[in-house]
């Protein structure tokens, strides 16, 4: 079952979601929805609310809860954890059980999200436009957003190449990504995120322009080498991933030697947006 994980925003609040290609429907994290509808102060409060509500609905024989699925989402501690999810129809029913002034606008939002995905399948450019709009609403500069969208295109080219070479999604993707990242930045993905004081946030969404450029160079180079070498197994792909990352790593060292500044920055998106820093012109210690 092909799935695509995403973060959807309702009034600037995150709702973790997964699109199921086979069923052609969204699944939404119920706890995230509860947190918004009940205006909980924190995620734990939403979990407690859902636990009580779920038990009550189960006792009532509510089919929405009985047929509730569980899927893995990235949690606040950075780990993938099973989470109760609901599709659009189930969510509409569940919202009826939560007294909230946000219920009606949230239902309209859910319906729009569901329709948008179908539109994006029919016309991929719509998805790109909406993604740009989302980043701009978060406060990123247009220049950074253009760079980020290009990085997504480069990443897709790489994963398409990995698919052709038999690399498996999930753990093998993660291992190869780690090889590339460590070769160009000196950090594994986990170390890099710790360096930026990130938890569940997307690492690329927290890179400066130059970090994004070097990451793109590493991934694009890996793609080209793989196309030429045509690796026959995962281990051969792992060697190529390191080669691609090393080329970008050498470029990073040359730039740092000329500028006297570190490119691998501690700056996160939060700091970029707070300080309007959208270029790597300042040192990481500032």
100 and 37 in a common domain:
yes
- pLDDT at res. 279: 43
Question: Residue 159: which domain range?
Answer: 129-275
Nearest to 204 by CA among 116, 137, 129, 135: 135
165 and 269 in a common domain:
yes
152 and 30 in a common domain:
no
DSSP per-residue string spanning 151-191: HHHHHHHHHHHHHHTTPPTTHHHHHHHHHHHHHHHSS-HHH
Tell me the three state secondary structure of residue 90: helix
Nearest to 219 by CA among 125, 124, 155, 140: 155
167 and 214 in a common domain:
yes
Tell me the three state secondary structure of residue 74: strand
Least confident of 89-93, 123-127, 146-150: 123-127
* Contact status, residue 168 vs residue 237, Cβ threshold 8 Å: no
DSSP per-residue string spanning 104-169: HHHHHHHHHHHHHHHHHHH-HHHHHHHHHHHHHHHT--HHHHHHHHHHHHHHHHHHHHHHHTTPPT
pLDDT tens digits, residue range 97-145?
A: 888 888 888 888 887 777 666 555 445 555 666 677 778 877 788 888 8
197 and 144 in a common domain:
yes
pLDDT band at 3 (very low <50, low <70, confident <90, very high): low
Please state, rounded to an integer, the average pLDDT across all residues of the chain: 82
265 and 137 in a common domain:
yes
Both tokens of residue 55? 């038990």
182 and 79 in a common domain:
no
> Cα dihedral angle (128, 136, 81, 160), rounded to 10 degrees?
30
Alpha-carbon span 28 to 109, nearest angstrom: 12
259 and 146 in a common domain:
yes
Alpha-carbon span 92 to 112, nearest angstrom: 13
pLDDT tens digits, residue range 218-276?
A: 999 999 999 999 999 999 999 999 999 999 999 999 999 999 999 998 887 767 666 65
Query: Of residues 82 and 242, which shows the higher confidence score?
Result: 242
Q: How many domains does the chain have?
A: 2
Cα 108 from chain centre: 24
Residue 122 neighbours by CB distance under 10 Å: 8
Query: Of residues 21 and 216, which shows the higher confidence score?
Result: 216
Least confident of 65-69, 102-106, 164-168, 210-214: 65-69
Last residue of a domain, one of 122, 156, 190: 122
The upper half-sphere exposure of residue 98, i.e. CA atoms within 13 Å in the direction of its Cβ, equals 29
Alpha-carbon span 20 to 27, nearest angstrom: 8
* Buried/exposed 141-168: b ≥16 CB within 10 Å, e otherwise: beebbebbeebeebbebbbebbeebebe
pTM of the predicted structure, to 2 decimals: 0.57
On whether residue 118 sits in a domain, the answer given is yes
pLDDT tens digits, residue range 194-205?
A: 999 887 678 998
pLDDT tens digits, residue range 15-28?
A: 888 877 677 778 88
């Amino acid at each position: 079952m092909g799935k695509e994980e995403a973060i959807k925003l309702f009034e600037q609040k995150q709702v973790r979601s997964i699109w199921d290609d086979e069923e052609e429907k969204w699944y939404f994290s119920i706890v995230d929805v509860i947190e918004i509808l009940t205006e909980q102060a924190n995620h734990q409060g939403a979990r407690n609310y859902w636990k009580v509500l779920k038990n009550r609905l189960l006792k009532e024989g509510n089919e929405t809860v009985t047929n509730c699925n569980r899927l893995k989402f990235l949690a606040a501690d950075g780990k993938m954890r099973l989470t109760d999810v609901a599709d659009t129809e189930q969510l509409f029913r569940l919202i009826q059980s939560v007294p909230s002034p946000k219920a009606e606008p949230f239902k309209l939002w859910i319906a729009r999200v569901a329709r948008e995905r179908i539109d994006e399948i029919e016309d991929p450019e719509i998805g790109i436009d909406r993604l740009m709009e989302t980043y701009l609403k978060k406060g990123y500069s247009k220049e950074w957003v253009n760079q980020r969208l290009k990085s997504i295109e480069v990443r897709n080219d790489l994963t398409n190449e990995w698919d052709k070479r038999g690399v498996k999604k999930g753990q093998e993707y993660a291992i190869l990504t780690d090889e590339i990242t460590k070769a160009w930045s000196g950090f594994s993905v986990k170390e890099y995120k710790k360096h930026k004081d990130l938890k569940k946030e997307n690492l690329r969404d927290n890179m400066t322009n130059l970090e994004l450029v070097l990451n793109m160079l590493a991934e694009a180079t890996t793609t080209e080498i793989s196309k030429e070498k045509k690796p026959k197994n995962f281990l051969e792909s792992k060697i190529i991933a390191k080669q691609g990352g090393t080329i970008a790593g050498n470029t990073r060292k040359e730039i740092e030697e000329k500028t006297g500044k570190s490119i691998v920055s501690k700056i996160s998106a939060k700091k970029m947006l707070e300080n309007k820093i959208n270029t790597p012109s300042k040192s990481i210690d500032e």
